[in-house]
Amino acid sequence: MKKHLIIICVIASLFSCKNTSKQENGKLNIVTTTSMITDLVKNIGGDLINLQGLMGSGVDPHLYKASEGDVSKLANADIIFYNGLHLEGKLVEVFEKMEHQNIHTVAISDALEKNTLIGSEYFASNYDPHIWFDVDNWVLAGNYVTHVLQEAIPEHAQTLENNWKNYQSQLYNLKEELYKIVETLPEDKRILVTAHDAFNYFGNAFDFEVVGLQGLSTATEAGVQDVQKLAAFIIEKQVKAIFIESSVPRRTIEALQAAVNSKGHQVAIGGTLYSDALGNPGTVEGEYIGMFKYNVNTIVNALK
Ligand SMILES: [Zn+2]
Protein backbone atom coordinates (compact mmCIF):
# COMPACT_ATOMS: atom_id res chain seq x y z
CA MET A 1 0.00 0.00 0.00
CA LYS A 2 2.75 2.38 1.00
CA LYS A 3 4.67 1.48 -2.14
CA HIS A 4 1.69 2.36 -4.30
CA LEU A 5 1.36 5.68 -2.63
CA ILE A 6 5.00 6.44 -3.34
CA ILE A 7 4.58 5.52 -7.01
CA ILE A 8 1.52 7.77 -7.28
CA CYS A 9 3.48 10.61 -5.68
CA VAL A 10 6.38 10.12 -8.09
CA ILE A 11 4.04 10.13 -11.09
CA ALA A 12 2.25 13.18 -9.76
CA SER A 13 5.49 15.03 -9.24
CA LEU A 14 6.71 14.11 -12.73
CA PHE A 15 3.48 15.50 -14.08
CA SER A 16 3.86 18.71 -12.13
CA CYS A 17 7.42 18.99 -13.43
CA LYS A 18 6.31 18.72 -17.00
CA ASN A 19 3.41 21.03 -16.56
CA THR A 20 5.14 23.63 -14.40
CA SER A 21 2.56 26.36 -14.78
CA LYS A 22 0.30 26.96 -11.83
CA GLN A 23 -2.06 29.08 -13.89
CA GLU A 24 -5.16 27.91 -15.67
CA ASN A 25 -4.34 29.84 -18.83
CA GLY A 26 -1.16 27.79 -19.23
CA LYS A 27 1.20 30.72 -18.80
CA LEU A 28 3.98 30.79 -16.23
CA ASN A 29 3.37 32.79 -13.08
CA ILE A 30 6.24 35.22 -12.65
CA VAL A 31 6.62 37.44 -9.59
CA THR A 32 9.14 40.30 -9.45
CA THR A 33 10.17 42.63 -6.63
CA THR A 34 11.19 46.16 -7.70
CA SER A 35 9.47 48.07 -10.51
CA MET A 36 12.75 48.14 -12.48
CA ILE A 37 12.85 44.34 -12.54
CA THR A 38 9.14 44.16 -13.37
CA ASP A 39 9.75 46.45 -16.36
CA LEU A 40 12.72 44.37 -17.56
CA VAL A 41 10.87 41.05 -17.31
CA LYS A 42 7.79 42.55 -18.98
CA ASN A 43 9.85 43.68 -21.96
CA ILE A 44 11.23 40.16 -22.41
CA GLY A 45 8.30 37.94 -21.42
CA GLY A 46 5.57 40.12 -22.93
CA ASP A 47 2.23 38.31 -22.97
CA LEU A 48 3.89 34.89 -22.83
CA ILE A 49 3.85 35.14 -19.02
CA ASN A 50 1.62 36.21 -16.15
CA LEU A 51 3.61 38.92 -14.42
CA GLN A 52 3.04 40.42 -10.98
CA GLY A 53 5.34 43.03 -9.48
CA LEU A 54 5.29 43.42 -5.71
CA MET A 55 6.69 46.95 -5.31
CA GLY A 56 5.03 49.94 -6.96
CA SER A 57 6.29 53.47 -7.49
CA GLY A 58 7.71 55.30 -4.48
CA VAL A 59 8.30 52.04 -2.61
CA ASP A 60 11.60 51.63 -0.77
CA PRO A 61 12.91 48.05 -1.30
CA HIS A 62 15.33 48.32 1.64
CA LEU A 63 12.43 48.59 4.08
CA TYR A 64 9.81 46.57 2.21
CA LYS A 65 8.14 43.74 4.13
CA ALA A 66 5.99 41.09 2.48
CA SER A 67 2.28 41.40 3.20
CA GLU A 68 0.07 38.32 3.47
CA GLY A 69 -1.10 38.96 -0.08
CA ASP A 70 2.52 39.07 -1.26
CA VAL A 71 3.32 35.77 0.41
CA SER A 72 0.46 34.07 -1.40
CA LYS A 73 1.55 35.63 -4.72
CA LEU A 74 5.08 34.37 -4.09
CA ALA A 75 3.86 30.91 -3.08
CA ASN A 76 1.87 30.76 -6.32
CA ALA A 77 4.85 31.73 -8.48
CA ASP A 78 6.72 29.49 -10.91
CA ILE A 79 9.69 31.86 -10.95
CA ILE A 80 10.57 34.79 -8.66
CA PHE A 81 12.99 37.40 -10.02
CA TYR A 82 14.56 39.66 -7.40
CA ASN A 83 17.56 41.98 -7.29
CA GLY A 84 19.63 40.27 -4.59
CA LEU A 85 22.81 41.64 -2.93
CA HIS A 86 20.54 42.34 0.02
CA LEU A 87 18.56 45.11 -1.72
CA GLU A 88 15.36 43.47 -0.52
CA GLY A 89 16.82 43.07 2.96
CA LYS A 90 13.56 42.17 4.69
CA LEU A 91 12.53 39.58 2.11
CA VAL A 92 15.58 37.31 2.30
CA GLU A 93 13.89 34.86 4.66
CA VAL A 94 10.74 34.76 2.54
CA PHE A 95 12.80 33.90 -0.55
CA GLU A 96 14.57 31.13 1.34
CA LYS A 97 11.22 29.71 2.36
CA MET A 98 10.02 29.80 -1.26
CA GLU A 99 13.15 28.01 -2.39
CA HIS A 100 12.39 25.22 0.06
CA GLN A 101 8.99 24.95 -1.59
CA ASN A 102 10.83 24.30 -4.89
CA ILE A 103 9.94 27.68 -6.37
CA HIS A 104 12.65 28.89 -8.72
CA THR A 105 14.05 32.09 -7.17
CA VAL A 106 16.46 34.05 -9.33
CA ALA A 107 18.63 36.96 -8.14
CA ILE A 108 19.28 38.97 -11.30
CA SER A 109 22.50 40.38 -9.77
CA ASP A 110 23.96 36.88 -10.20
CA ALA A 111 24.36 37.84 -13.85
CA LEU A 112 27.22 40.16 -12.89
CA GLU A 113 30.82 39.13 -12.20
CA LYS A 114 31.70 39.80 -8.56
CA ASN A 115 34.76 41.84 -9.54
CA THR A 116 32.54 44.34 -11.38
CA LEU A 117 30.43 45.03 -8.28
CA ILE A 118 31.05 48.01 -6.01
CA GLY A 119 31.94 46.96 -2.47
CA SER A 120 29.91 48.18 0.51
CA GLU A 121 30.11 47.69 4.23
CA TYR A 122 26.42 48.60 4.66
CA PHE A 123 25.02 45.36 3.26
CA ALA A 124 25.28 41.77 4.46
CA SER A 125 26.24 40.91 0.87
CA ASN A 126 29.22 43.33 1.14
CA TYR A 127 28.20 44.79 -2.22
CA ASP A 128 26.24 47.83 -3.36
CA PRO A 129 22.97 46.45 -4.79
CA HIS A 130 21.94 49.46 -6.95
CA ILE A 131 23.17 47.78 -10.13
CA TRP A 132 20.46 49.13 -12.50
CA PHE A 133 22.11 52.56 -12.76
CA ASP A 134 24.68 51.18 -15.18
CA VAL A 135 23.01 50.30 -18.48
CA ASP A 136 25.63 47.61 -19.17
CA ASN A 137 24.64 45.85 -15.95
CA TRP A 138 21.02 45.99 -17.01
CA VAL A 139 21.89 44.37 -20.35
CA LEU A 140 23.60 41.50 -18.49
CA ALA A 141 20.57 41.15 -16.22
CA GLY A 142 18.29 41.06 -19.27
CA ASN A 143 20.40 38.35 -20.87
CA TYR A 144 20.09 36.29 -17.73
CA VAL A 145 16.32 36.77 -17.44
CA THR A 146 15.95 35.73 -21.09
CA HIS A 147 17.89 32.49 -20.51
CA VAL A 148 15.90 31.61 -17.40
CA LEU A 149 12.60 32.16 -19.25
CA GLN A 150 13.81 30.22 -22.30
CA GLU A 151 14.61 27.25 -20.09
CA ALA A 152 11.22 27.45 -18.42
CA ILE A 153 9.21 27.76 -21.68
CA PRO A 154 11.49 26.37 -24.42
CA GLU A 155 8.60 26.32 -26.91
CA HIS A 156 8.75 30.14 -26.88
CA ALA A 157 12.54 30.45 -26.92
CA GLN A 158 12.61 32.24 -30.27
CA THR A 159 9.97 34.83 -29.35
CA LEU A 160 11.77 35.54 -26.08
CA GLU A 161 15.01 35.96 -28.00
CA ASN A 162 13.36 38.38 -30.44
CA ASN A 163 11.77 40.38 -27.61
CA TRP A 164 15.09 40.62 -25.84
CA LYS A 165 17.09 41.62 -28.93
CA ASN A 166 14.57 44.37 -29.60
CA TYR A 167 14.73 45.69 -26.04
CA GLN A 168 18.50 45.31 -25.85
CA SER A 169 18.92 47.62 -28.85
CA GLN A 170 16.69 50.18 -27.09
CA LEU A 171 18.98 49.94 -24.06
CA TYR A 172 22.07 50.54 -26.21
CA ASN A 173 20.37 53.59 -27.76
CA LEU A 174 19.54 54.82 -24.27
CA LYS A 175 23.15 54.51 -23.19
CA GLU A 176 24.35 56.55 -26.15
CA GLU A 177 21.72 59.22 -25.54
CA LEU A 178 22.61 59.49 -21.83
CA TYR A 179 26.30 59.98 -22.61
CA LYS A 180 25.41 62.80 -24.99
CA ILE A 181 23.38 64.57 -22.28
CA VAL A 182 26.11 64.13 -19.64
CA GLU A 183 28.77 65.46 -22.03
CA THR A 184 27.07 68.87 -21.93
CA LEU A 185 27.98 69.18 -18.23
CA PRO A 186 31.57 70.26 -17.47
CA GLU A 187 33.53 67.58 -15.61
CA ASP A 188 34.12 69.72 -12.50
CA LYS A 189 30.34 70.09 -12.09
CA ARG A 190 29.70 66.36 -12.04
CA ILE A 191 29.02 66.04 -8.33
CA LEU A 192 25.80 64.30 -7.36
CA VAL A 193 24.49 64.73 -3.80
CA THR A 194 21.35 62.73 -2.99
CA ALA A 195 19.42 61.39 -0.02
CA HIS A 196 21.02 57.93 -0.04
CA ASP A 197 23.84 56.23 -1.88
CA ALA A 198 21.90 54.76 -4.80
CA PHE A 199 23.99 56.27 -7.58
CA ASN A 200 27.48 54.78 -7.22
CA TYR A 201 27.14 52.63 -10.35
CA PHE A 202 25.80 55.69 -12.15
CA GLY A 203 28.83 57.65 -10.91
CA ASN A 204 31.23 55.02 -12.23
CA ALA A 205 29.51 54.78 -15.60
CA PHE A 206 29.14 58.53 -16.19
CA ASP A 207 32.14 59.88 -14.32
CA PHE A 208 30.32 61.62 -11.45
CA GLU A 209 31.47 62.00 -7.86
CA VAL A 210 28.55 60.66 -5.86
CA VAL A 211 27.75 61.43 -2.23
CA GLY A 212 24.73 60.11 -0.37
CA LEU A 213 23.49 61.57 2.90
CA GLN A 214 22.36 58.28 4.31
CA GLY A 215 24.42 55.15 3.96
CA LEU A 216 23.64 52.78 1.14
CA SER A 217 20.56 51.42 2.82
CA THR A 218 17.80 53.76 3.86
CA ALA A 219 17.52 51.67 7.03
CA THR A 220 20.24 53.90 8.53
CA GLU A 221 19.22 57.47 9.31
CA ALA A 222 21.61 60.32 8.69
CA GLY A 223 22.94 61.92 11.87
CA VAL A 224 23.56 65.60 12.61
CA GLN A 225 27.29 65.10 12.06
CA ASP A 226 26.73 63.57 8.62
CA VAL A 227 24.61 66.56 7.65
CA GLN A 228 27.26 69.07 8.83
CA LYS A 229 30.06 67.22 7.07
CA LEU A 230 28.19 67.05 3.79
CA ALA A 231 27.15 70.72 4.07
CA ALA A 232 30.84 71.67 4.35
CA PHE A 233 31.61 69.53 1.30
CA ILE A 234 28.86 71.22 -0.75
CA ILE A 235 30.20 74.68 0.13
CA GLU A 236 33.79 73.71 -0.60
CA LYS A 237 32.95 72.21 -4.00
CA GLN A 238 30.45 74.97 -4.86
CA VAL A 239 27.75 72.42 -5.64
CA LYS A 240 24.73 74.19 -7.16
CA ALA A 241 22.01 71.64 -6.43
CA ILE A 242 21.18 68.56 -4.37
CA PHE A 243 18.46 66.02 -5.05
CA ILE A 244 15.47 64.41 -3.41
CA GLU A 245 14.66 60.75 -4.15
CA SER A 246 11.19 59.45 -4.87
CA SER A 247 11.46 56.54 -2.43
CA VAL A 248 13.15 58.41 0.45
CA PRO A 249 11.44 61.05 2.66
CA ARG A 250 12.41 64.55 1.49
CA ARG A 251 13.17 65.85 4.99
CA THR A 252 16.74 64.46 4.92
CA ILE A 253 17.66 66.58 1.90
CA GLU A 254 15.77 69.59 3.25
CA ALA A 255 17.80 69.36 6.47
CA LEU A 256 20.97 69.37 4.38
CA GLN A 257 19.81 72.39 2.39
CA ALA A 258 19.03 74.23 5.64
CA ALA A 259 22.50 73.40 7.00
CA VAL A 260 24.18 74.83 3.88
CA ASN A 261 21.97 77.94 3.87
CA SER A 262 22.64 78.58 7.57
CA LYS A 263 26.32 79.05 6.67
CA GLY A 264 25.39 81.81 4.26
CA HIS A 265 25.62 79.69 1.11
CA GLN A 266 22.86 78.77 -1.29
CA VAL A 267 22.16 75.32 -2.61
CA ALA A 268 19.04 74.52 -4.63
CA ILE A 269 16.97 71.38 -4.57
CA GLY A 270 17.48 70.20 -8.13
CA GLY A 271 14.38 68.01 -8.30
CA THR A 272 13.30 64.50 -7.42
CA LEU A 273 15.22 61.55 -8.80
CA TYR A 274 13.86 58.04 -9.17
CA SER A 275 16.33 55.87 -7.34
CA ASP A 276 14.99 52.57 -6.02
CA ALA A 277 11.61 52.63 -7.78
CA LEU A 278 10.22 53.81 -11.12
CA GLY A 279 7.54 56.48 -11.55
CA ASN A 280 3.80 55.81 -11.75
CA PRO A 281 2.69 53.14 -14.23
CA GLY A 282 1.53 54.62 -17.53
CA THR A 283 3.91 57.59 -17.32
CA VAL A 284 7.23 57.96 -19.16
CA GLU A 285 9.12 57.63 -15.86
CA GLY A 286 7.15 54.48 -15.11
CA GLU A 287 9.55 52.61 -17.41
CA TYR A 288 13.28 52.06 -16.94
CA ILE A 289 14.29 53.90 -20.13
CA GLY A 290 12.11 56.93 -19.40
CA MET A 291 13.16 56.99 -15.75
CA PHE A 292 16.85 57.01 -16.66
CA LYS A 293 16.46 59.84 -19.20
CA TYR A 294 14.40 61.85 -16.72
CA ASN A 295 17.02 61.42 -13.98
CA VAL A 296 19.95 62.38 -16.17
CA ASN A 297 18.15 65.41 -17.63
CA THR A 298 17.15 66.54 -14.13
CA ILE A 299 20.69 66.16 -12.80
CA VAL A 300 22.41 67.87 -15.73
CA ASN A 301 19.93 70.77 -15.93
CA ALA A 302 20.20 71.51 -12.20
CA LEU A 303 24.01 71.34 -12.03
CA LYS A 304 24.77 73.33 -15.21
ZN1 LIG B 1 18.72 52.09 -2.22
Half-sphere exposure of 40 (CA within 13 A, CB side): 27
- Which pLDDT tens digit goes with each residue over 170-215? 999 999 999 999 999 999 999 999 988 899 999 999 999 999 887 6
Per-residue pLDDT for 17 more than 80?
no
Query: Which overall architecture, per CATH, does domain 179-303 show?
Result: 3-Layer(aba) Sandwich (3.40)
Model confidence pLDDT, tens digit, residues 134-144: 999 999 999 99
Do the domains 2-175 and 179-303 sit in the same CATH topology, yes or no?
A: yes
Q: Say if pTM beats, i.e. exceeds, 0.75.
A: yes
pLDDT at site 249: 85
Q: How far is the CA of 205 from the centre of ligand 1 (A)?
A: 17
Task: Report residues near ion ligand 1: CB below 5 Å.
Answer: 198, 276
Residue 137 vs residue 227, higher pLDDT: 137
Q: Measure 215 CA to ligand 1 centroid, in angstroms.
A: 9
| CA 91–ligand 1 middle distance (angstroms) | 15
Q: How far is the CA of 187 from the centre of ligand 1 (A)?
A: 25
For 72-100, the pLDDT digits (tens) are 999 999 999 999 999 999 999 999 999 99
Q: How far is the CA of 154 from the centre of ligand 1 (A)?
A: 35
Total Cβ atoms within 10 A of residue 153: 19
Q: Which residues of 5-24 are buried (b: 16+ CB within 10 A; e: fewer)?
A: eeeeeeeeeeeeeeeebeee
- The residues spanned by each domain of the chain are 2-175, 179-303
Q: What is the mean pLDDT of the chain?
A: 91
Residue 41 and residue 35: Cα distance in Å, rounded? 10
Distance (angstroms) between ligand 1 centre and the Cα of 109 equals 14
Which CATH architecture group holds 2-175?
3-Layer(aba) Sandwich (3.40)
Question: How far is it, in rounded angstroms, from Cα 127 to Cα 84?
Answer: 10
User: How far is ligand 1, taken at its centre, from the CA of residue 217, in Å?
Assistant: 5
How sure is the predictor about 272, in pLDDT bands with cuts at 50, 70 and 90?
very high
